[in-house]
Amino acid sequence: MLKSLEDSVRIFLLRHAQSQGNVDPSLYRDMADHAIPLSAGGQAQAREAGRRIKEHLQAIHGEPGSARVRMWTSPYERTRQTGDVIVEAAGGWVTDRREHILLCEQQFGLFNGVPDDQLPVRFPDEYALHSKQEQAAGKFWVRFPLGESRFDVATRVHQAFGTFHRDLRKHGIEDLIVVCHGVTLRAFVMMWCHYSPEWFETEGNPGNCAIRLIEGSEDRGYIFEGFEDP
């Protein structure tokens, strides 16, 4: 008899490895956010994350082939590349991989890639209005101009959960690796574990390649803290 989802599923949630945009934010002036690749340091970070996942899966299952492990990634270049390296470093543990568009980064709209200190200079009216709305309603609820709020991210991430439920119920896949982004990862944990918006606001953004483990409906926290942004 198939175990319930709450008893069965295990999710390794990862933020992508260091990107070239993390190292040099000016890259955003000439390149779309989704197209920014990993840095050389990010490649090394992803290998370490893959090694950590391999060790964890070995401790649970024994040898590769004893469990189906599916990877899901955001369709951004940095998450795809992080997934590539993890698959290689995990040594045969990842049995297949797919992409989910709802796992993408928060859309920052007009402010995307603009340093915080440049926002009031480049977009004085929009920045003033956005700041006023944040003070009145809170950061979680307010949309970026032409972009998303954190509430929007949480809503769309929740829409993806049916996919992961089907992985277990229809295909018997109990181990998932989800490679996404910092805000997306926090929204995932919030919605899966039924945390509050207040929890989200007090929970810091994870480091690059941080790995957070969910078992059933239980948040086990970070099994690897990852690497700090430069």
| pLDDT of 196 over the 70 cut | yes
pLDDT per residue over 14-47, tens digit each? Answer: 999 999 999 998 898 889 999 999 999 999 999 9
pLDDT score for 8: 83
pLDDT score for 229: 75
Tokens in use for 192?
A: 């899966």
pLDDT score for 5: 53
**Where on the phi/psi map is residue 113: left (φ > 0), alpha (ψ -120 to 50), or beta?**
left
Domains, the chain:
5-107+148-224 (3.40.50.1240)
Averaged pLDDT for residues 37-62: 97
Q: In what order do the strands lie in the sheet with 96-99?
A: 96-99, 69-73, 175-180, 10-15, 211-215, 218-224
Global pTM?
A: 0.94
- Cβ atoms of 103 and 157 within 8 Å: the answer is yes
Q: Count the residues in the chain.
A: 230
End-to-end CA distance of the chain: 49
Query: Rounded CA gap, 177 and 221, in Å?
Result: 15
Averaged pLDDT for residues 174-186: 97
| pLDDT of 193 over the 70 cut | yes
